[in-house]
Amino acid sequence: MPTLTQLLHNVQVLDTHGDLAVEVGPIRFDSRQVQPGDVFVAVRGAQTDGHQFIDIAIKNGAAAVIYKSTDQLLVTNHQLTIIQVRDSAEALGQMAANYYSHPSNELQLVGVTGTNGKTTTVTLLHQLFTRLGYRCGLIGTVENRIGTTVVPSTHTTPDAVRLQALLREMADAGCSHVFMEVSSHAVHQRRIAGAVFMGAVFSNLTHDHLDYHGTFAAYRDAKKKFFDDLSATAFALTNVDDRNGAFLLQNTLATKYTYGLKKPADYKSKILENSLNGLYLQLDGEAFHARMIGEFNAYNLTATYAVARLLGMDKLPTLTALSDLRGAEGRFESIAHPTKPNCVGIIDYAHTPDALEKVLETIQKLKKKTSKVITVVGCGGDRDKTKRPLMAHAAARLSDQVILTSDNPRTEDPAAILHEMEAGLQGDDIRKALTIENREQAIKTAVRFAQAGDIVLVAGKGHEKYQDIKGIKHPFDDKKVLEKYFQE
């Protein structure tokens, strides 16, 4: 077991009580998991404050307690080692990195952040580098992967201890590269503290997570801190076409690079053709065909290519491998109707107004003039309420028929969420909108409305295989439900 002194390397200690040379077991931030000899780090979270459970950790046998300087600590057990630090969340990340012997130093770790496109970009990177002959790790919303082995994912970015443990598994399994999604929550909560990034990518920034961050500026600044913390040996790649792209890289020490479709960039793409059969691009001066569809995927492909080049990959092998990739599950996945000619169903994770608009704008560009677009969409409970009317408005504006339905209501009343969505409907939007709370019935109705040549978009849940209602995750898969009613 390491000593507490070893674990506190790179941690700013303000005050101590007890022996720093004491040997300690695993690091815990959940007091219920503490066992005799463990070190307990009290971290304030979004819902609960770990400082309230220090006494439970002590009763469970904690050998040491780490707590934040701004929190008053009342401990009468003077046999305990107590450490006061400036930021206990930061300390947790650094200690976890020390405990697992700094696995990111053995890997080429690249993080992707932004509102939309994170999952697709890290998935493309993992697929691409695997095709190029490397053993890679993936950390993301849909799943984690160690080589080709799937490890279940519960968060976009794991907590600090789990992240370092996962990186250690990847390093020990012989992975050379790891591509991970970096959420704004993870940056703000310092879950990535202690991880050393070879590079970072910014995709875009739109309306999301204001329930957590409070303001768009705070959300943007959380993303920016990811780049602020990069070292001078890293690279920072930004979307030059996004108005926040340059701002996020303003104070980074990393070497700056740009990618985009519209403005001059270090890595530039141009869409030559966009159809339901895929994209035909001019990418970095070369003609290039991809299986993926839509302008948003042109950005994801360009970012993926740019990262590969910045990591030393050759141009032509990279383009050849990239042309055959399919992206992430639940991201613009299409299903053909078995009996209605040219009737297509599309499953997409779009759960922000901007993402929904981009998907529907792509569909509008690809569909025939006589084709109708039927959209099924909802909004999650216990999340940003301000986007609910915006989602409904975007869906109605760009569809011929809209069915508002339940998403993951969580602890909220689904009917109340739908009422807030309906507030975004105006004029003609009201006449082409229908509200069906039951999600399966909503999808069934959309399929019955669809005729030959029409497109049914089921948005919001994508890869998810459940519906979260009152804390219970009920089995539900948009793709399977859509296929079921297509078959009928």
- CATH code for the domain in which residue 20 is found: 3.40.1390.10
Decide if 348 contacts 459 (C-beta within 8 A). Answer: yes
Residues found in the chain: 488
Identify whether residues 108 and 69 lie together within a single domain: no
Tell me whether residue 80 is in a domain. yes
Identify whether residues 168 and 205 lie together within a single domain: yes
Distances (CA, A) of 453 to 335, 336, 337: 13, 10, 10
Mean pLDDT, rounded, for 279-307:
94
* Token pair of 300 as six digits: 């994801």
**What letter does residue 23 receive in the DSSP assignment?**
B
329 sits in which H/E element: none
Identify whether residues 111 and 209 lie together within a single domain: yes
- Domain of 17 in residue numbering reads as 4-98
Task: Average the pLDDT over each of 231-235, 327-331, 435-439 and give the range with the smallest value.
Answer: 327-331
Identify whether residues 263 and 340 lie together within a single domain: no
Of 322, 347, 371, the one marking the end of a domain is 322
Mean pLDDT, rounded, for 182-208:
90
**What letter does residue 195 receive in the DSSP assignment?**
P
CATH number at residue 246: 3.40.1190.10
Identify whether residues 205 and 131 lie together within a single domain: yes
Identify whether residues 147 and 32 lie together within a single domain: no
Tell me whether residue 420 is in a domain. yes
Does the pLDDT of residue 385 top 60, yes or no? yes
Percent of the chain with pLDDT over 70: 96
Does the pLDDT of residue 210 top 60, yes or no? no
**Residue 450's pLDDT band (boundaries 50, 70, 90)?**
very high
Of 268, 287, 322, the one marking the end of a domain is 322
Tell me whether residue 17 is in a domain. yes
Side-chain half-sphere of 27: how many Cα atoms within 13 Å? 29
Identify whether residues 363 and 243 lie together within a single domain: no
Tell me whether residue 119 is in a domain. yes
* Single-letter amino acid code for the residue at 287: A
Mean pLDDT, rounded, for 338-350:
93
CATH number at residue 383: 3.90.190.20
Mean pLDDT, rounded, for 169-185:
96
Q: What is the rounded distance in angstroms from the CA atom of residue 183 to the CA atom of residue 174?
A: 26
Tell me whether residue 327 is in a domain. no
Tell me whether residue 328 is in a domain. no
Q: What is the pLDDT of residues 405-443, one digit of tens each?
A: 999 999 999 999 999 999 999 988 999 999 999 999 999
pLDDT at 376: 98
- Average per-residue pLDDT for the chain: 92
Question: How many domains does one find in the chain?
Answer: 3
Does the pLDDT of residue 76 top 90, yes or no? no
pLDDT at 17: 84
Does the pLDDT of residue 401 top 80, yes or no? yes
Does the pLDDT of residue 177 top 80, yes or no? yes
CA triplet 295, 297, 299: central angle to 5 degrees? 80
Of 45, 66, 98, the one marking the end of a domain is 98
Of residues 174 and 142, the one with the higher pLDDT is 174
- HEC profile for 268-283? EEEEEEEECCEEEEEE
Q: Beta strand 235-239 with 255-260: parallel, antiparallel or unpaired?
A: parallel
Mean pLDDT, rounded, for 165-172:
98
* Single-letter amino acid code for the residue at 224: K
- Taking alpha carbons only, the member of 385, 276, 287 closest to residue 332 is 276
Does the pLDDT of residue 203 top 90, yes or no? yes
Identify whether residues 230 and 356 lie together within a single domain: no
Identify whether residues 213 and 136 lie together within a single domain: yes
Identify whether residues 385 and 276 lie together within a single domain: no
**Residue 22's pLDDT band (boundaries 50, 70, 90)?**
confident
pLDDT at 103: 98
pLDDT at 251: 95
Q: What is the pLDDT of residues 352-373, one digit of tens each?
A: 898 899 899 989 988 999 999 9
**Residue 78's pLDDT band (boundaries 50, 70, 90)?**
low
Mean pLDDT, rounded, for 34-47:
90
Identify whether residues 313 and 339 lie together within a single domain: no
* Token pair of 21 as six digits: 């040379």
Identify whether residues 189 and 284 lie together within a single domain: yes
Mean pLDDT, rounded, for 230-255:
96
Does the pLDDT of residue 212 top 60, yes or no? no
Mean pLDDT, rounded, for 14-22:
86
